[in-house]
Chain A
Amino acid sequence: MRFDSVALPPEAEALRGQVREFLAAEWPDGYWPNSDFGEGHDPAFSRKLGARGWIGMTWPKEHGGGARTFFERYVVTEELLAAGAPVAAHWIADRQSGPLLLKFGSRAQRRRFLPGIARGECYFSIGMSEPNTGSDLASVRTRAERVDGGWLVNGAKIWTTDAHRNHFIIALVRTGPRSANRHAGLSQLIVDLKAEGVAVRPIRNLAGGEDFNEVAFQDCFVPDANLVGEPGGGWTQVTSELGYERSGPERFLSAFRVFVEFVRAAGPSPDDGAAALIGRLASQLMTLRRMSISVAGMLQQGQSPVVESALVKSLGNDFEKMLPELVRLSPLCRAGREGEPLPFAVERDPMSAWLAPLERCLRQTVLYAPSFTLRGGTREILRGVIARGLGLR
């Protein structure tokens, strides 16, 4: 495990100012910034980003991409997240569905899907977890049976973010018999979320949001053309996504707006306690960012840094969770003070307009924080991946 020291090249740094100008001009009216990548599903905004060439940046031009480096993509994504822009619509398609199709998809699939993704018009959901399959991904039960011209899918996927407003899901399904090799017999299918036999049921989360869903398949026909890669290649393909999925700035910036608002509340000359907290958070964030950029360098070299990515995500998620917990206890926070009638965690509307900005994003973050160490691989799974990388298992 090695994190080489990597500096962003000038062409990547040059994008920073362009993204900021774009955000100043195109910020959606009344949108409250939120640095959580799952927040803000805004097709109009995604299309504008696509028009600027900031989706599918690393893909070849023939597929609508920008033929740019992972460092350039890194700068664009971190600027969008830090500003709290609404990036949820295209995020998954840009980060992992597109790269997956680029690596394993057929020529026809690349031509059909990638240009639309890069324009910010075509959105994907992840189809991994099932009602009885969470961290143990190899235990998926959704079946696809061979029929004339394609596959008939039966089963269900769950925790499927934005399935109710995205276009496609890439479902990991069982196409072969169960055998001693648990990783054999799995395949990935692109399923049209509006197709017959697909039912999307929203699942309300504890914060009152309806972002994720259960997606049920009943005799849903999927044409042969939608099989990604080889039948039986699903496990290899799905694990290769993880390097992209786990190392990016979205794994440590989810709570960033709380940090910004805390600095605002602390003012230009904070007392020692507030200054130390700001410095502690900054030192953690600066280090995480270096590690994440180092992984971008590995991706740029064509490596598959699965263990390093797990490590960045694990440390990053812990930081995202620690941040609101530390800020909350600062004397600068109103919540919890003696005589304050509303302990913020029981308030029904976490985005209440009457709240001060710090309390407002703190409420939101506290309520969403449990998901940080669950989505994209739980803390326990990540530690297992790291332990394997250390040669312990």
Chain B
Amino acid sequence: MDRLLKETAERVFADHVTRAAWDDAESGIFPAALWAVVEKTGLHKVGGADSGTGWDDLFGLLTVAGRHAVPLPLAEMLLAGTVVADANAAGFTTIAAGGLAPWPTAARQVLSIEGQVSSEFGCAPASNLAGEPFAWVELLNPRPVAVPRELPTLLAVSRVALMAGALERVLEMCIAHATEREQFGRPIAKFQAVQHGLAVLAGEVAAAGSARDGCVAACGTPRFVDEAAAAKARVGEAAGIGAELAHQVHGAMGFTHEHDLHRFTRRLWAWRDEHGHETVWQTRLGRRVAAGGADRVWDFIVGA
């Protein structure tokens, strides 16, 4: 990922993803101030045609967004930008998969993964586990648009990138908490049981990062669909294990609304389900492995 882009994204999100923005989002109020900064810095154009950026930057930006639990439908915006010209000019485009889209109420238009786009649509509100507004949408007077066959897979990979970023942040929060929080006269980080829990968490975080790198590196190659399946399956597992350990380390404080941990863990629980949970992608991947036969299992693993 481009270094300047990464630094810009880190700074923008660190400064502008506030508790108020999170709370607004959960109340169905679009965080307009945050969106305005994203627009101003041009982050919403990353990965789009003529932006001079590619898949590595797009998914890199989503990983940074995951690190900050950005309460915008950034994944849908950016992926829509790779499909529809001017998707995010004067408003943004969200994507409906299975009829369900994040933030259609704030969007200028909705793109469906079946290849239709419209700025007129009916909405039936819903929300994900993180409280982010979703809605079932019905496109009115849609026009057809060519969407790549891999769009559903790209949406799954967007969740992989978001989860990998959120897991990094959750590990940092756990280390900070365990070294500050004292019980029995010493920081809880000094207890072996706590250390081992955090070591397991660190393993899951590192595995998530590697799986993410694997499918991002495979973008645009014939290997992409297999790497993406492996990553969504593996990172989904890491999200569940990681969130569980993080809450155990944080104790009751981490179970409160006041503590920020849930901004990340609730998103992890949402993202591991969105666009196919672990079993969905495991089954898909397993069928591909099995089709090659037992004597080609290793070929499949190494991509030979």
Q: Which residues of chain A come closer than 8 Å to B196, judged between CB atoms?
A: 380, 383, 387
Given known A286-B230, A314-B203, contact A392–B195 (CB-CB < 8 A): yes
Q: Are A276 and B283 in contact (CB under 8 A)?
A: yes
Contacts of B237 in A (CB 8 A): 280, 283
What is the size category of the interface that chain B forms with chain A?
Answer: 35 or more
In whole angstroms, how far apart are the Cα atoms of A37 and B202 in the complex? 27
**One of B30-38, B82-90, B148-156, B206-214 contacting the partner:** B206-214
The answer to whether the Cβ of A1 comes within 8 Å of any Cβ in the partner chain is yes
Does B217 sit at the interface, judged by CB under 8 A?
yes
Report the minimum CB–CB distance from B225 to chain A (whole Å). Answer: 12
**Are B206 and A390 in contact (CB-based, < 8 A)?**
no
- Assembly CA distance A269 to B194 (angstroms): 44
When C-beta atoms are compared, the residue in chain B nearest to A290 turns out to be: B210
Instruction: Give which listed residue, B195, B231, B289, B301, contacts A387 with CB less than 8 A.
Output: B195
A283 touches B202 (CB 8 A): no
Q: Which of B178, B199, B278 contacts A383 (CB 8 A)?
A: B199
Cβ B233 vs Cβ A386 within 8 A: no
Query: Among residues 226 to 254 in chain B, which have CB atoms less than 8 Å away from a CB atom of chain A?
Result: 227, 229-231, 233-234, 237
Q: A269-B290, A380-B196 are in contact. Are A311 and B217 (CB under 8 A)?
A: no
Q: How far is the CB of B242 from chain A (nearest CB, A)?
A: 13
> Of B198, B278, B291, B301, which is within 8 A of A286 by CB?
B301
Of residues 258 through 300 on chain A, the ones whose CB sits less than 8 Å from some CB of chain B are: 259-261, 263-264, 266-270, 272, 274-280, 282-291, 294
Stretch of B44-52, B110-118, B263-271, B292-300 contacting A (4+ beta carbons < 8 Å):
B292-300
Instruction: Judge whether A270 and B290 touch: CB under 8 Å.
Output: yes
Given A287-B214, A294-B210, A280 and B298 contact (CB-CB distance below 8 Å): no
Q: Select from chain A the residue with minimum beta-carbon distance to B203.
A: A315
Set of chain B residues within 8 Å of A272, measured between Cβ atoms: 283
A268 CA to B297 CA, complexed, in Å? 12
In contact, A287 and B286 (Cβ under 8 angstroms): no
Report Cα–Cα, A5/B227, bound state, in Å.
14
Q: Given A291-B210, A390-B202, is A384 in contact with B195 using a C-beta cutoff of 8 Å?
A: yes
B283 and A275 within 8 A (CB) = yes
Which residue of A79, A82, A283 contacts B211 across the interface (Cβ within 8 Å)? Answer: A283
| Residues of A357-393 whose CB lies within 8 A of B | 380, 382-384, 386-387, 389-393
CA of A264 to CA of B214, assembled, Å: 27
Chain B residues 167-217 with CB under 8 Å of chain A are 175, 178-179, 189-190, 192, 194-196, 198-200, 202-203, 206-207, 209-211, 213-214, 216-217
Q: Tell me the count of chain A residues lying within 8 A, CB to CB, of chain B.
A: 55
A264-B294, A290-B210 known; A284 vs B190 contact (CB < 8 Å): no
CB distance from A200 to the nearest CB of B (A): 36
Given A82-B298, A286-B301, A386-B202, A279–B281 Cβ distance below 8 Å? yes
Cβ contacts under 8 Å, B283 to chain A: 272, 275-276, 279
Does the CB pair A283–B293 fall under 8 Å? no
Distance in angstroms between the alpha carbons of A285 and B285 in the assembled complex: 12
Whether B206 contacts A393 by the Cβ 8 Å rule is no
Q: Is the pair A263, B289 in contact by a Cβ cutoff of 8 Å?
A: yes
B279 on the interface (CB 8 Å rule)? yes
User: Contact: A5 with B213, CB < 8 Å?
Assistant: yes
**Of B192, B206, B217, B230, the contact of A291 (CB 8 Å cutoff):** B206
Q: In the complex, are the beta carbons of B297 and A263 less than 8 A apart?
A: yes
Q: Is A78 positioned at the interface, with any CB of B under 8 Å from its CB?
A: yes
**Chain B contacts of A27 at CB under 8 A?**
none
B304 on the A face (CB < 8 A): yes
Asked whether B18 is an interface residue with its Cβ less than 8 Å from the other chain, the reply is no
Distance in Å: Cβ of B269 to nearest Cβ of chain A: 19
Minimum C-beta distance from B298 to chain A (A) = 4
Residue A7 lies at the interface, judged by CB distance under 8 Å to chain B: yes
Query: By the criterion CB–CB under 8 Å, are A287 and B294 in contact?
Result: no
Q: Which residues of B contact A (CB under 8 A)?
A: 175, 178-179, 189-190, 192, 194-196, 198-200, 202-203, 206-207, 209-211, 213-214, 216-217, 227, 229-231, 233-234, 237, 278-279, 281-287, 289-291, 293-295, 297-298, 300-302, 304
Can you name 23 A-B pairs with beta carbons within 8 Å? A5-B216, A82-B301, A259-B297, A261-B294, A267-B290, A268-B293, A270-B290, A276-B279, A278-B290, A279-B282, A279-B285, A282-B230, A282-B286, A282-B300, A283-B211, A283-B281, A287-B211, A383-B196, A383-B199, A387-B196, A392-B178, A392-B179, A392-B198
| New contact pairs (9) apart from A79-B298, A270-B286, A308-B206, CB-CB < 8 Å | A5-B213, A13-B304, A283-B281, A283-B282, A286-B214, A287-B211, A384-B199, A386-B203, A391-B175
